[in-house]
Structure 1
Amino acid sequence: MKRSLILLSALMIGATLHGCGGGDDKTKTEKAAAAAAPADSCTGHPLEKALPPMATLYGYPYLSRKCGYNDASVVYGKADGSQRLEISLIDTGMPAPAQDGNSDAAIAYRGAQDKLREMTHSSLTLLNSTREAALKNGTADKFGGEDYLPVIDTTRMGDPLAIVAPAKGESGVSTLTGLIKSRYVLSISSADKPNGGNAQAMRQLFVPFVEQMKLTALP
């Protein structure tokens, strides 16, 4: 009996050691796979804290994200392209790269960011005026009805947002544009047409994605 117990113990120890060895192999495999995977360019980026989660949101699976010097983008949808929504956030107030200093490249960079910020502000103002004029003059039918007019909204912080959709019966991409803290240019775009794809329907699609972002975390 004692010998049987010793043999059984030996077998159990052997099985345990074999299992540990398999675990080591698995760990090595996982580490190798992680090393081979492309690095996430948004990890540690100044805009990362404001980006929406890397998870399925409102029926849109997370696909990818990418960050550049002063911008970040996130893509949701299906890999076959049958469903797609893209989010872009640009920091127009980020200083020029340190290595450029006061060079011509730095001056051009700052000029481009100032222009983008000003154009976004002008676009939001124009879209608001377009909506008000159409409602006042009774010309909403030119867009396909009031539901197709640009929709003016705000974030929870009060930053301006505008949603635009193609006119009724026309194909194209719908967009949301926002200017956050008078510095960050936010845009969301999609060619999808939920509930007919009018501007009001696109607002119902886009705004929840905005609310998933942590825009208050931006300086």
Structure 2
Amino acid sequence: MNRSLTLLSALLLTATLQGCGDDSQPAKAAAPEAASTGAATPAGDSCTGHVLEKALPPTKAIYGYPYLSRECGYDDATIVYGKADGSQHLVVTLTDTGLPAPGADQQGEAAKQYLAAQAKLRDTTAKNVSLLNQARQAALQNGTAAQFGGEQYLPVIDSTRMGDPLAISVPGPDDKAGESSLTGLIKGRYVLNMTSPDKPNGGTAQSLRELFVPISEQMALTKLP
């Protein structure tokens, strides 16, 4: 393949990734932030006793990020870390895609749409991880890493202690507003997402890997059914 076709392939793959990436983010309201960086978990908040609570990272400062807040819904849990002034911000979301549809009518149209959306979320997450891995390998093999800002900004693939693959992607060095993310499908059922606009050590993929992956290791994912 000549260089112009190689470059076109890389651009098309990048466009595909950008088009698919948002589908792996569950649609939900943003979690409210606490007023101070030393926020304590209130007694009886929406995550207390929730089935996902046991898998969440701790409600205390973690890897230099103060705990701010957490919020749980029917099938998801979100925990927010950072500073109230916005100078640090990191969001962890865990979504259970294996629950029955909410409500008594499990055969109705609303239930069918809910289950279809959850199945799509599982499939899209798994595909995104695979596409990010393919993008990394293709860029290294074809010499097109410059399209990402250099090799240090290529997607990185890691895994949970159970072996579930995790993909870390970061914006290029010239993208000052973009967010870095970690995404993965846990036990074929739970969608894990982490996002942050912060750019430690230049915002390279390895720098965000060193932030995101240790947080995932603080989560008791093995306790999920």
In the superposition, the TM-score normalised over structure 2's length comes to: 0.79
Give 2:96's aligned amino acid: D
Of residues 74, 78, 95, the one that matches 1:90 is: 95
Please state how far the C-alpha of 1:39 moved relative to its aligned partner. Answer: 4.0
1:63 equivalent in structure 2? 68
Q: Distance in 1 between matches of 2:57 and 2:222?
A: 13
SS in 2 for 1:105: helix
* CA offsets 1:157-199 (integer angstroms, 9 cap, x no match): 1001000000122121000001100110000000000000011
1:30 equivalent in structure 2? none
Whether 2:180 is the aligned partner of 1:174: answer yes
Whether 2:223 is the aligned partner of 1:217: answer yes
1:164 equivalent in structure 2? 169
CA RMSD of aligned residues (A): 1.1
Q: Distance in 2 between matches of 1:181 and 1:38?
A: 30
SS in 2 for 1:208: helix
Give 2:151's aligned amino acid: E
Give 2:86's aligned amino acid: G
Which structure has more RCO (C-alpha within 8 Å, separation ≥ 6)? 2
Q: Distance in 1 between matches of 2:85 and 2:115?
A: 38
Give matches, 1:49-198, under 5 Å. 49-171=54-176, 172-198=178-204
1:13 equivalent in structure 2? none
Please state how far the C-alpha of 1:107 moved relative to its aligned partner. Answer: 0.6
Q: Distance in 1 between matches of 2:189 and 2:88?
A: 30
Which structure carries more helix by proportion?
Answer: 1
Q: Distance in 2 between matches of 1:101 and 1:66?
A: 26
Q: Distance in 1 between matches of 2:66 and 2:216?
A: 16
Q: Distance in 2 between matches of 1:203 and 1:63?
A: 22
SS in 1 for 2:104: helix
Q: Distance in 2 between matches of 1:170 and 1:107?
A: 40
Q: Distance in 2 between matches of 1:65 and 1:162?
A: 24
1:18 equivalent in structure 2? none
SS in 2 for 1:99: coil
Could you say which structure has the larger radius of gyration? 1
Aligned pairs, number: 183
